[in-house]
Structure 1
Amino acid sequence: MDEFLKWYFSGRPVVASYLGADGYDHTLGDFTAAAFAAREREEILWLDRLSRLETATPDDAIDRDLVLSQLRGSIALASWPDWRRDPAVYLSAIFTSMFTPFQRRLKPEPELVSAAVSRLAEVPDVLAACRTNLDADLAAPLLVQRGLGQARTGRNFLTRTIPSMVTDPELRAKLADAAEPAAAAFDAFVAFLEGFECGGTWRMGERLYSTLLRERELLGYDAAELHRKGEAAWASLDARMREVTLRLNGTEDWRAAMESLMDDHPATLADMRAEYEAETCRAREFVKERDLVTFPEGEECLVLPSAEYTRPVLAVAHYLAPPPLSSSRTGVFFVPYTPDDFTEEQVRQRLRTNSRAQMPSIAVHEAYPGHHWHLSHMASNTRTVRNVFRTPYFTEGWALYVEKLLHEQGYFDTLATELAHLDCRIFRAARIVVDTALHCEDMSIEEAETFMATKASLSPGTAQGEVSRYCAWPTQAPSYLTGAIEIDRIRESYEGSLKSFHDKIAGSGGLPLGLAEQAAHL
């Protein structure tokens, strides 16, 4: 397994560095078509080799099967090559590799700047590879436009945002100077994307979608059954929300009730961040008082504005985990700020979808005992491969599972916060319906946006951002509720305390649900 990880990291130095592995900080890696093709061939060899591997213990078998699931998924996706379809493959590597080290600050500033300067020198080559590799017959206009929105932030991000994170004036000037050629490459890349004409589709298709559910996520059903599960979950939650709304205001119209609740929101983006920070502290104290989990030593969750480069493509709160291959246990709950060019009305709509009734559910999901607790807790797992590979069907499933857990424990102590909690859940049911319909049927983008705006309490602008994300990231959106339901099912058969269940299953990693069930019962 160590040999496999060494091979895996060598071809993906940005991933290795992000996870906290030493020795990969000074390069972005090889993004040429030849390199992608070579990795695809080598994955097939590794699958064959590891499939024949005998294991000594049940935990070893889980490690092996975790890697096999990742390899099978990656090999299946070779028929849907994102590196030929989506500029985000290249842009995400650049932005992540530049921003994350300065956000985490795990090494002395001179070392961070040295690594950044080295990576900046490679940015023109990475963008040139993207220009060469993008296939006009495969790339979809929607994905190119998403990439264009990110690329337009490149110059400011590299020449101003990143240098502003450096405290030493000389090092800051050195970094700004090194950023200029990379920024010029971004300028040229923006011009390229603006003129790039393509006719590909973002629809994955049922066959590959179902293959990923079965072979990568190790679920026992296909896309059609997942779609039906989403519809059933939506109907059940709709009935519950009608009942809560009847108690809240005497009607069953929960959409109107949520619209009214969303009018009670922070006045500014800065106020939104401050209120999320207070709610995060409250959630932590509640979980601690109820003794629901074991807190890892030294964990800390910062609550900060979202990074500038993510604002054009992420309209919701999100989380940056501590690098699991390091000693850090500090994570970041990013509050969803808007791009600088948003109108006053667009900012108001973003604030409305982060209303005071919704904040408790979101803070629980992102921080305690959601993503931050889980990912800082699992970082102590000594099985390296568990900290390298994880699936959103567990990690996002866990974060939604604990929302329901805290509802059971009485955290959402008003009808308004209870309704908002259920709204967060029905939103995830709607995601299942929409994602499967978009990629496996013929639902249009416009129909999907209407569905998300009427079947969940999203503003039209947020619904638009959400659907764009689903088109770009097939199979991810259903992971939340699918995983939460599966974790609930595993809990029902667990013999032991609630706290021991949480510590054990979450500490086992972010495993595909079939493997998570095995780990819980070891």
Structure 2
Amino acid sequence: MRHSVAAALVASLFATAPPAEAEAALIVPATPVSRADTGFDAFKQGFVDALLAHDPDWALQVGSYRDASRLAIPDPAADLSFAQKWLGQLARHPVGQLSEANRIDRALIENRLRSLQWYSGQFRNREWDPSQWNVGEGFSILLTREYAPLEARLLAVSARLAQVPAYYTAAARALRRPTLEHTQLAIEQSQGVLALLDSPLASAIEAAHLDAERAAELRSRASLAREAVHTWVAHLEALMPRLQRGEGRSFRIGPAQYARKFAYDIQTDLTPTQLYRAALTEKERLHAKMDTLAAALWPRYFPDTPPPKTRLARIGTLIEKLSEQHVAAPDFVAEVQRQIPQLEAWVRDKDLLTLNPDKPLQVRETPLHKRGVAGASIDAPGPFDPAAITWYNVDPLDALPATEQESTLREYNRWTLQILNIHEAVPGHYAQLVYANRSPSMVKSLLGNGAMIEGWAVYAERMMLESGWGDHEPEMELIYAKWVLRVVCNTILDYSAHTLGMSEAQAMTLLREEAFQQEAEAREKWRRVQLTQVQLASYYSGFESIYALREDLRRRDGDAFDLKTFHERFLGFGSAPVKYIRQMMLG
């Protein structure tokens, strides 16, 4: 339910202090080639406006603050109705009458709507994954993105806080048979929500110029919201005994649901089984390459010791030796910060990609409400507020036990940490998402494809090493091969865990003995595959598609091929699936 008084106050403040200029930006249509294209461009605008209104939390993430004061309660029936309505309207725009760019936009919209139907009607993950019920990110955006004066943002916060009790009441009613793993995650992340609604919110209220009545109302609503979160946590904790006895749903989604989710999320012409088999082949190729590198490096690090007789033992022993070179735990986040300017300078000096110095990137410790899935991530603003800060989230190590700290530091050693920063920041996720916000097609920017986004970040690592980053030293080549092996084994792990019944022991064998991961990393990855589905397969799928496209263009264009031109043209298509970008780039 809307809170009309608060909404009116927010609207009045926005009238004097509008959000970022891009908030009002319309979709830039492709050059119309027919009346069909003109009509479809109008349809796209209406669809995007409706999608933003339907999902105000997603709207906040992509930088649209029109409905900032509304906390929507997820409703499968509303999702199905929305999808059915817009699929009906989409059918009025036959694909054969549209330009190539609009045909691809049409395919992206249809995939989004059919995906919404499947998620809400069949996958129904809000019934078994309580971590889907999390109000933290919306409040975090409102408190940290300076799209409007603090007072306006706090009034939006106040309106949202008033809706939190109803939100978590609906969450408790929606749960049917949750998994143990997702319930544990929801409890952990809810503690982060409580922390966010405590001192950060209190500090914001103190810093703002709200009158006493509104400030008191905000504090009261915050108190009631925290009580609602506590009640939600208590509800989840009460479920834990029976979940620990094995009475909950399995985290494994099974072959049929995996195949459907893969089709909607990855949007490739490969089947999950084909990608899995390709990953097994690539794992063998990487092992052979790593063995050659290990043989060359062995005398340098073990001059008086004969190498082990087995290939995996030789590689593993040498990687363990190299992993001793790492920063100290207190310096981990600072070292990430230190490397970003170096990467930016390299990209500029090698003329690999044009970087925009006006698009801010800041490294921060991962907010508590977002921890528990991945150790590093990017929070990028969307095309409606492209000037907002992009956050590079890094989990700090301070609170970990000493043995886990050391294990993590060995995994992210001197060489691996550089590759991680390339992947997450420059020229990986951060750079790609800045380009996506500039795409002429708002649809290609908003309906981003995870395999393209992750694939570009993995491709960026390869491209940087090809350009000479790391001086082509064999240590970097070996550690990079280990990183690529991680990408490959992500696919093997994800497919095997969800469709083949892979056990934890089998996963540890794959990750520790065949992918040479440290104990902490392997444990984190096993936890991640229990909490996510298909996403781990997106890295390898996207990378292979992008690299194949580049090499096809290189062969076609010969001496006329220009790497920077390829990068900037590729990124100019937003975050569309690679198979569609291939169509546009190859004609």
TM-score, normalised with respect to structure 2: 0.82
Aligned residue in 1 for 2:176: 135
Unaligned residue ranges in structure 2 (runs of 5+)? 1-43, 300-306
Question: Which amino acid counterpart does residue 77 of structure 2 have in structure 1?
Answer: A
Q: Contact 1:51–1:68 at 8 Å: present in 2 too?
A: no
Residues 72 and 514 of structure 1: is their aligned pair in 2 closer, same or farther, counting only changes over 3 Å?
A: farther
Question: Which amino acid counterpart does residue 577 of structure 2 have in structure 1?
Answer: P
Within 5 Å, give how 1:269-348 maps onto structure 2.
269=330, 271-296=331-356, 298-311=358-371, 313-328=372-387, 330-338=389-397, 340=399, 342-348=400-406
Larger radius of gyration: 2
Aligned-pair CA distance for 1:106: 2.5
Question: Which amino acid counterpart does residue 266 of structure 1 have in structure 2?
Answer: V
Partners of 1:119 and 1:432 lie apart in 2 by 39
Partners of 2:106 and 2:87 lie apart in 1 by 10
Structure 2 counterpart of 1:512, from 577, 581, 584: 577
Which deviates the most, 191-200 or 436-445?
191-200
Partners of 2:142 and 2:293 lie apart in 1 by 45
Deviations 1:186-218 (A, max 9, x none): 111111101124521221221222233345533
Within 5 Å, give how 1:9-408 maps onto structure 2.
9-31=52-74, 35-54=75-94, 55-77=97-119, 78-91=121-134, 94-136=135-177, 139-164=178-203, 168=207, 177-196=220-239, 197=242, 198-250=247-299, 251=307, 253-269=314-330, 271-296=331-356, 298-311=358-371, 313-328=372-387, 330-338=389-397, 340=399, 342-408=400-466
Deviations 1:480-513 (A, max 9, x none): 1111110011112224421111111112011122
Aligned residue in 2 for 1:458: 517
Q: CA RMSD in A?
A: 2.2
Q: Contact 2:494–2:534 at 8 Å: present in 1 too?
A: yes
Partners of 1:254 and 1:51 lie apart in 2 by 56
Partners of 2:268 and 2:444 lie apart in 1 by 19
Residues 435 and 130 of structure 1: is their aligned pair in 2 closer, same or farther, counting only changes over 3 Å?
A: same
**SS of residue matched to 1:304:** strand
Which deviates the most, 427-436 or 461-470?
461-470
**SS of residue matched to 1:303:** strand
Partners of 2:568 and 2:117 lie apart in 1 by 33
Partners of 1:356 and 1:164 lie apart in 2 by 38
Correspondence 1:434 to 2:493: yes
Residues 503 and 188 of structure 1: is their aligned pair in 2 closer, same or farther, counting only changes over 3 Å?
A: same
Number of aligned residue pairs: give it.
512
Partners of 2:289 and 2:233 lie apart in 1 by 48
Question: Which amino acid counterpart does residue 435 of structure 1 have in structure 2?
Answer: D
Partners of 2:261 and 2:478 lie apart in 1 by 33
Deviations 1:404-437 (A, max 9, x none): 1111111122332222222111001111101001
Question: Which amino acid counterpart does residue 367 of structure 2 have in structure 1?
Answer: A
Partners of 1:102 and 1:325 lie apart in 2 by 18
Aligned-pair CA distance for 1:370: 0.4
Aligned-pair CA distance for 1:475: 0.7
TM-score, normalised with respect to structure 1: 0.92
Deviations 1:108-161 (A, max 9, x none): 21122221222122222111111000002xx21121112122123332221124
Aligned-pair CA distance for 1:168: 0.8
Partners of 1:397 and 1:181 lie apart in 2 by 43
Aligned residue in 1 for 2:534: 475
Aligned-pair CA distance for 1:164: 4.3
Q: Contact 2:83–2:113 at 8 Å: present in 1 too?
A: yes
**SS of residue matched to 2:361:** strand
Aligned-pair CA distance for 1:451: 2.2
Which deviates the most, 65-74 or 427-436?
65-74
Structure 1 counterpart of 2:502, from 443, 457, 461: 443
Which deviates the most, 48-57 or 13-22?
48-57
Aligned-pair CA distance for 1:231: 0.9
Q: Contact 1:374–1:507 at 8 Å: present in 2 too?
A: no
Partners of 1:450 and 1:363 lie apart in 2 by 27
Partners of 1:238 and 1:377 lie apart in 2 by 35
Q: Contact 1:296–1:377 at 8 Å: present in 2 too?
A: no
Which deviates the most, 358-367 or 106-115?
106-115
Aligned-pair CA distance for 1:162: 4.1
Partners of 1:348 and 1:290 lie apart in 2 by 35
Q: Percent identity?
A: 23
Within 5 Å, give how 1:405-416 maps onto structure 2.
405-413=463-471, 414-416=473-475
Partners of 1:493 and 1:505 lie apart in 2 by 13
Q: Contact 2:379–2:391 at 8 Å: present in 1 too?
A: yes
Q: Contact 1:360–1:417 at 8 Å: present in 2 too?
A: no
Q: Contact 1:213–1:221 at 8 Å: present in 2 too?
A: no
Partners of 1:162 and 1:350 lie apart in 2 by 32
Question: Which amino acid counterpart does residue 503 of structure 1 have in structure 2?
Answer: E
Residues 154 and 217 of structure 1: is their aligned pair in 2 closer, same or farther, counting only changes over 3 Å?
A: closer
Unaligned residue ranges in structure 1 (runs of 5+)? none
Q: Contact 2:147–2:388 at 8 Å: present in 1 too?
A: no
Residues 324 and 446 of structure 1: is their aligned pair in 2 closer, same or farther, counting only changes over 3 Å?
A: farther
Question: Which amino acid counterpart does residue 454 of structure 2 have in structure 1?
Answer: E
Aligned residue in 1 for 2:13: none
Aligned-pair CA distance for 1:295: 2.0
